[in-house]
Amino acid sequence: MEIVSENKAFGGTQGVYTHLSHSCSCEMTFGVFLPEEAKYGSVPVLWYLSGLTCTHENAMVKAGAQAWAAEHGIALVFPDTSPRGEKVADDDAYDLGKGAGFYVNATQTPWADHFQMWDYVAEDLPSMLQEKFPLDMSRQAITGHSMGGHGALTLAMSLPGRFRSVSAFAPICNPTGADWGKKQLSAYLGDDTDAWAKHDSSVLMLEKGFDGPVLIDQGADDQFIDLLRPETLAAAAAKRRQEFTLRMQKGYDHSYFFVSSFMEDHVAFHADALYAD
């Protein structure tokens, strides 16, 4: 692991680091915010997964999460959204390839060589973080925005016991039923729709649910709401009788102005779960 930068922030440290990812077979960049409490012992962890076109940096500088994480003594992890590098496959469209990994393990050419983002977030990066940082990996929570909200929800429901709580800002809720999903899942996973369903939070909510609290914030004026399909996730949660809160926020769109407006609520929501015992 190499240090790119470390800056004092809210009494703690906001760092940016690179490492060679075994799963993605390339160098990856990520951010970690450590609160002041990390100087004296391990601290709980909140993962933030970013959306289409983003890197590790977008949420790190725009979401305003560090102030609230510092208040609660929680570390933040900001992974990248895809593999990077000259040899990594890409596409001219903004919603496929670099910046659009969709948090799946690709099986199709040319993506399979590097686009193993599920393994990266679920196994590769956590393993290294546990070795390098004072993190209490028995107390983890996860959140994300848009494509990252999709990733947060699918990881939380597919890895029972890993995360104590999950939240999302304007997540892609039903990728098997919308253009933000069908295109990418078919490119990365091929025509096997059973494989697609494993990465659809509405399907997973019906089949598995989540053993813990779920919070979703959705801008009612989000320009992409028809692609996000929050109603499908809400219906699945209601049918399963899942502990679930969906807040439709009047006047808000899909931007980081929306995310930062409700970040305090989300960090507090996760703090309640992370410190429950």
Give residue-wise pLDDT tens across range 18-62.
Answer: 999 999 999 999 999 999 999 999 999 999 999 999 999 999 999
Q: Does 80 qualify as catalytic in the annotation?
A: no
Every domain of the chain and the residues it spans: 2-275
Name the catalytic one among 80, 200, 217, 222.
222
At 277, the pLDDT band (50, 70, 90 cuts) reads: confident
Q: Does 145 qualify as catalytic in the annotation?
A: no
Q: Where are the alpha helices (DSSP H) in 159-255?
A: 179-189, 193-197, 201-207, 225-228, 230-240
pLDDT of residue 50: 98
Q: Mean of the per-residue pLDDT values for the chain? A: 97
pTM above 0.85, yes or no: yes
Distance of alpha carbon 119 from alpha carbon 103, whole angstroms? 8
The fold of 2-275 is Rossmann fold (3.40.50)
Name the catalytic one among 56, 145, 150, 254.
254
Q: Kindly give the interhelix angle for 256-274 and 65-72, rounded to the nearest 10 degrees.
A: 10
Q: What is the mean pLDDT of residues 95-119?
A: 97
Q: What is the mean pLDDT of residues 85-105?
A: 96
pLDDT of residue 193: 93
Q: Does 19 qualify as catalytic in the annotation?
A: no
Name the catalytic one among 50, 146, 167, 201.
146
